[in-house]
Structure 1
Amino acid sequence: MKAGVFAQLAFTVAASAASVGTWAADSSAPALKAGHEYMIVTNYPNNLHVIDLASDEVYKSCKLPDAFGPGTAMMAPDNRTAYVLNNHYGDLYGIDLDTCQSVFHASLSSTPGEVGRSMYSFAISPDGKEVYATVNPTQRLNDHYVVKPPRLEVFSTADGQDAKPVRSFPMPRQVYLMRAADDGSLFVAGADIYKMDVKTGKYEVALPLRNWKRPGFSAPDVLYFWPHQTAQHDFTMLYTVSRFTDDKQDPATAEPMYGYLSIDLKTGKSSYREFASLTELYFTGLRSPQDENQMYGVLNRLARYDIKERKLIKAANLEHTYYCVAFNKKGSKLYLAGTFNDIAVFDPQSLEKVKNIKLPGGDMSTSTTQVFIR
């Protein structure tokens, strides 16, 4: 992991309180319209916004329960309910976007004496009937804390506002993002990418990371907190890796490179590929829905790469840092979010900015934008 990157994240999160203001969410807009394309995103003080992607304007805003953080959101298969990890990483909520009402709530501190937190790690079953969360529990005793082994907790979405785990299984440590595949398997990112059976708790390595045994390459390094729901229906994360020049594996002469990991959620097939030399940092990257040979990455610049040629096609300077890149379903528009309270809209081919969508409220922090069609 990169210490400087964590420092930048910490600075942005700490600065969020200064940008909150006194604005209150407005949930009075009508229900979402069938066939229309929308985007959801969260921000301080504790809001869930719905963006209409035809006009690129805020359609409605919902006030979330309890407190903000991290605000990681994913859409349920019904494209009606948004699930949000929030309240300082300690609770899961299901929000009906038509009414802005909370229809599901699960506290991750459900065991007496424990405080449970999830590091961006939750997912929704392909039929929308279950929600999965990795819980990292700490037992608070009178004079000390006990860090306990992590576990997967499975909740039924039908249990509504006071959901309790219906199943629980041991999990590997250092687990963060997860996504559910169409066959019901759960792919979990940690030291390696694991494939888990949510009925039995058994898991296996689907794609090695720390235990990568790739000749001529170092183990990959992954820093990724954004569970994109993409038009390609895959589970994608960026990684950095060193390609050595000889058997000495001298880091001083190695070529640092960027690559992407991908799990096809339709088939479960995993893949990885380098696409560029590492010349600057990107927090997120996605392939274009129009051309999967083109990779877009963002942090301090927006960059577009030819994957096969490992070549930078074009880059654009930004008004400020953005953490999260997303496309509309057709791939005709590209959205940059995270950090402050504006979403930048770009033309994916020219990398010219089209407009900024100003969000009511404050900082988005590490929020993930999700695009869907009602």
Structure 2
Amino acid sequence: MKAGRCAQLALTIAATACAWAVQADDAGPALKAGQEYLITTNYPNNLHVIDVASDTLYKSCQMPDKFGPGTAMMAPDNRTAYVLNNHYADIYGIDLDTCKTTFHANLSSVPGEVGKSMYSFALSPDGKEVYATVNPTQHLNDHYVVKPPRLEVYSTADGLEAKPVRTFPMPRQVYLMRAADDGSLFVAGPDIYKMDVKTGKYTVALPLRNWNRKGYSAPDVLYFWPHQSPRHEFSMLYTIAKFKDAKQDPNEAELLYGYLSVDLKTGKTHTQEFADLTELYFTGLRSPKDPNQIYGVLNRLAKYDIKQRKLIKAANLEHTYYCVTFDKKGDKLYLGGTFNDLAVFDPQTLEKVKNIKLPGGDMSTTTPQVFVR
């Protein structure tokens, strides 16, 4: 390696180390045991912690590198937040007590390739491993080569220089993932897959594109929010057409909203329609208090009775929100995404309680997560 190149590399490493050290200079207070918190991220590159009891900003951590998408998940220790960031190219572990970066995985681990993960990462139930679906592109002098996607498995104990300890082929077009209590990995894609993270073998746990439900279309799913919900399930919304007859005329079909769920304790899958498709929702969650009630949000906040397939109530919003989140007991409902504020609602009345304004810019497609330290 040329001397100039060596010097440039040394300066880059030194600058990165200094930047990560600066993160913890103003770490703020450590989190308190037994206290309930909410994390969310926003531009320019912030990780915020909200005190759920008071609905106030508790502290903010500056993350390394660049923002995007800022998708965060809490580790089982309820101390470390793992964030897919740096333009979908890196995963970071941030200690919420100190704001220090304790884990880093660059998804471009193969020379000559650029790897990105489209919201597709998860944590093992014991917190010892991080899983990421990497979509690699080989950069050549005059063209790019799109390579097959792969699952990369990282050990969280490897810290800031984490490299894949195992890799396996993955189906194309996969996105959200959640690990079940037994260690198996559920992956959303053309279908919902169940994968053995030790062998890489997978089966179809819930057909979607290959749904053979008589009288119905295949469901359509657009979902980028990996909720760590109090119900401990891997859930997403879908839309579907219920046809009038064997002609399957889409102009005569009944368009419906539904949700799919994987119970992360038992592995059981479930699908259920709950509403006519009259408006769009980006996210929806069932109530921690009443599994027969589901809440959806985008341009309005709506509450449905699932069994009766009936709208109970809806609330107008000051602006669009992408993501709905509950506190652990289901007493509060938080709306996040888009701008730089969290809206707090009463789930029973759908009356707004307050807005929590965050320092910085918009939250984009981040997923607010609630946990108890």
Please give the range of the TM-score, normalised by the shorter of the 2 chains: over 0.9
SS at match of 2:78: coil
Flag structure 1 segments of 5+ consecutive residues without an equivalent.
1-23
What residue in structure 2 maps to residue 56 of structure 1? 55
Cα distance in 2 for residues equivalent to 1:27 and 1:312: 46
What is the percentage of aligned positions where both structures have the same residue?
81
Aligned position for 1:249: 248
2:308 is the alignment partner of 1:309? yes
Q: Deviations over 1:194-215 (max 9, x none)?
A: 0000000000000000000000
Shift, 1:30, TM fit: 1.1
Amino acid in the other structure paired with 1:216: G
Aligned mates of 1:256, 1:118 — CA distance in 2: 32
Structure 2: 5+ residue runs without aligned partners? 1-22
Q: What is the TM-score of this pair, normalised by structure 2?
A: 0.93
| Structure 1 equivalent of residue 167 of structure 2 | 168
Counterparts of 1:91-106 in structure 2, within 5 Å, are 91-106=90-105
Q: 1:261 is matched with which residue? A: 260
Give the number of the structure whose alpha-carbon radius of gyration is greater. Answer: 2
Paired residue for 1:188? 187
Equivalent position of 2:352 in the other structure? 353
Q: Is 1:231–1:329's contact at 8 Å kept on the other side of the alignment?
A: yes
**C-alpha separation in 2, matches of 1:335 and 1:92:** 25
SS in 2 for 1:158: helix
Q: What are the within-5 Å matches in structure 2 for residues 13-52 of structure 1?
A: 27-52=26-51
Q: Is the 2:80–2:93 Cα contact (8 Å) retained in structure 1?
A: yes
Identify the residue that residue 123 of structure 1 maps to in structure 2: 122
> Is 2:303 aligned against 1:340?
no
Within 1, Cα distance between the matches of 2:307 and 2:24? 45
Matched residue type, 2:274: F
Q: Is the Cα–Cα contact under 8 Å of residues 186 and 194 in structure 2 kept in the other structure?
A: yes
Q: CA RMSD in A?
A: 1.0
> SS where residue 252 of structure 1 aligns?
helix
Return the alpha-carbon distance in structure 2 between the equivalents of residues 288 and 199 of structure 1: 34
Tell me how far 1:29 sits from its aligned partner: 2.0
* Higher normalized contact order (CA 8 Å, seq sep 6+, divided by chain length): 1
- TM alignment of 1:275-294, pairs within 5 A: 275-294=274-293
Aligned length: 351
Q: 2:70 aligns to what?
A: 71
1:78 CA drift (Å): 0.3
Native 8 Å contact 1:124 1:180 kept in 2: yes
Helix, strand or coil: the match of 1:160?
helix
In structure 2, the residue matched to 1:150 is 149
2:134 is aligned to 135
Secondary structure of the residue aligned to 2:200 is coil
Match of 1:4 in 2: none
Query: What residue number does 1:223 align with?
Result: 222
| CA–CA distance in structure 1, aligned partners of residues 24 and 297 of structure 2 | 29
Change (3 A) 1:102 1:28: closer
Q: Cα deviations across residues 173-228 of structure 1 (Å, max 9, x unaligned)?
A: 00000000000000000000000000000000000000000001000000000000
8 Å contact kept, 2:73–2:82: yes
Q: Is the 8 A contact 2:102 2:160 kept in 1?
A: yes
Tell me, yes or no, if the aligned pair for 1:27 and 1:60 is still in contact at 8 Å: no
Query: Is contact 2:24-2:100 (8 Å) kept?
Result: no
- 1:26 and 1:62 in contact (8 A); partners too: no
By how many angstroms is 1:246 displaced? 0.8
- Could you give the per-residue CA deviations for residues 277-316 of structure 1, whole angstroms, max 9, x where no partner exists? 0000000000000101000000000000000000000000
Contact 1:346 1:352 in 2 (8 A): yes
* Matched residue, 1:81: 80
Give the conservation status (yes or no) of the 8 Å contact 1:151–1:171: yes
**TM-score normalised according to structure 1 size:** 0.93
Q: Post-superposition shift, 1:28? A: 3.6
Contact 1:26/1:60 (8 A) holds in 2? no
Distance 1:147 1:246 in 2: 42
